[in-house]
Amino acid sequence: MGQKRPPLKLKVIRNKDKTKEIASLNQQLGLLDLKVVQVTADGNCFFRAVSEQLEGDEEEHSKYRKMVVDYLQEHREDFEPFVEDEVPFDDYLKNMREETTWAGHMEIQATSLVTRTNICIHQLKTPRWHFRNFNTADAKTIHLSYHDGEHYNSVRRQDDPGDGPAKPIIIEGDATPATKPPPTKSLVKDKSRDVEAAAIKRVMGGSGCTNETRAREVLRDVHGDADAAIEYLIAELASGDASSTGSDESDPGSSAATGDQSRVSEKSTSDERTESKRSLISCTASENGGGNANSNGLSASSQSVDRNKPCPCGSKRKYKSCCGTSKTRITPTHLSRFAIRTSSH
């Protein structure tokens, strides 16, 4: 593999079977209609992958290595503070000019700047890593994949024959420069649905989750933050939670039961509302109106109650201070019962 440089500090998932790991990543990328294009693993893989992206030929890697190291040298003041292990900058550059020396963070950043492209790095079950230095509408993006903390490959569209520079890849939901005016109000609803669908697709592609319903739930729980949803689902998958990989199909029997419960609940709610109205009418009957029956009932009951005893209406007041002084009083008990019932609907 050549002389080793500190690898990119992204999440490293070690896989003994690299063929299986690439197959799994291909399946993940397939949700985005993308594929891995493998390059030679000889210590030049980063520059080979960049060359494959920009020219369709990985054998031009030496040219891009030279371009990048020259850029580092010309912008010494920007990069020298980031050299690790207190290695003198000149020694660092000399080492980087040698074939098979691995590229690190600085080389990726310098590659983005010298080629005037943004860089997107895909990994298995991990959010994409972006190096964004250009926000213009015509800015190109190089797409690479990173494997086992030690190897880069190129990533292309599935319909890209690979006979030249990589075809542009547009991933809905990724941050991109605005190139169109704001949508009219009539288009906002449809647009929001499209954005959600794109975000769900991005979350599924970035996390490896195959359950669209679960992806949608998590995305809404984190208020549309796709990166947060991806990280949550990755953690969920790692913990072995089946909800991220389960089927979206529901049990018909369960649905029927839910429907029956809903109808029972609606009937119960309707009965409670009717009872509430009757209770309120009973305790607000007018002396001169249609509440005579209730008033008479109250009077009949009151005839057997001593005026110094607790009133049977439930107010906890003495009869002479409550219903004994008026035939039409709304009691605290009635009001509290009505409030409880109405607040639950």
- At 175-195, the pLDDT tens digits run 544 334 444 444 444 545 667
Of 13-27, 82-96, 168-182, 213-227, which gets the smallest average pLDDT? Answer: 168-182
Mean pLDDT to the nearest integer, 140-165: 95
Domain ranges of the chain: 18-157, 185-244, 270-343
**In the predicted model, is pLDDT for residue 21 greater than 70?**
yes
Tokens found for residue 220 = 């809404």
Residue 151 is a catalytic residue: yes
**In the predicted model, is pLDDT for residue 117 greater than 80?**
yes
**Can you give the pLDDT at residue 40?**
95
CATH number given to 18-157? 3.90.70.80
What confidence category does residue 316 fall into, taking pLDDT thresholds of 50, 70 and 90?
low
**Can you give the pLDDT at residue 141?**
96
The per-residue pLDDT of the chain, averaged, comes to 73
Q: Which of 122, 143, 147, 151 is catalytic?
A: 151
Span 221-258, pLDDT tens digits: 877 888 888 888 887 887 776 565 554 444 444 444 44
Residue 345 is a catalytic residue: no
Which residues are 157's β-sheet partners? 34
- Residue (of 130, 125, 129) closest to 207 by Cα position: 125
**Can you give the pLDDT at residue 294?**
43
> Which of the two residues, 152 and 173, has the higher pLDDT score?
152
pTM of the model: 0.51
**Can you give the pLDDT at residue 295?**
40
